[in-house]
Amino acid sequence: MQYMVQSRAPQLAQMRKGALEYCVLALLRDGERYGFELVRELSNAELVTSEGTIYPLLSRLRADGAVETSWRESTQGPPRRYYKLTAEGKASLDFFAVEWQRFCQAVNGILAVGAGQ
């Protein structure tokens, strides 16, 4: 049984990873944030355990044109790299938000049927 649970873990990890990308975009909807702030929010929400894994994701989002970055001076410590949602990123997020709702409803519906029988 333990093996079965473990063998499913990569699929869950893939789902989590797919959703995580949009959680990053959602955190940027109300304004720019710097990397550490983003990671800390996701970490506090228990969406990530290895905080460092967010940075490759941010790089990818930047390469895809969903976010853009700029350097800002910090009142304490070194300058910080701020991330900002682009129009493209915003469109992608809006699309996901609708699809995600539909997906959740559909899955919940099926899970409820299964549990009722």
Partner 1 sequence: MSEALFGSELDAMVTRYLEELNDALRRLPSSKRDHLISEIREHIVEMRAERPVRDRSDMEALLNRVGLPEDIAAVALEDVEDTGELADEAGPPIVAPAESRFLGGRVSKRTFMIGTAAAAIVLFGLFVGVAVGSHRGQAVFGIVRSGSSVRPVLIQPAPPAAIREAVPNVIGENPAEAAATLSAAGLTFSVDNASSTTTPIGVVVSQNPPAGSFVPSRRQVTIVVSTGPQSTTS
List interacting residues with partner 1 (CB under 8 A): 6-7, 9-10, 14, 17, 35-36, 39, 43, 49-53, 55-60, 63, 76-78, 80-81
User: How far does Cα 64 stand from its chain's mean position?
Assistant: 15
Query: 67 with 83: CB under 8 angstroms?
Result: yes
The distance of closest approach from Cβ of residue 5 to partner 1 in the complex, given in angstroms and rounded to an integer, is 11
Tokens 């409803």: give the residue.
105
Residue closer to partner 1, measured from CB, 80 or 90:
80
Element (H, E) at 72: strand 67-72
Residue closer to partner 1, measured from CB, 53 or 70:
53
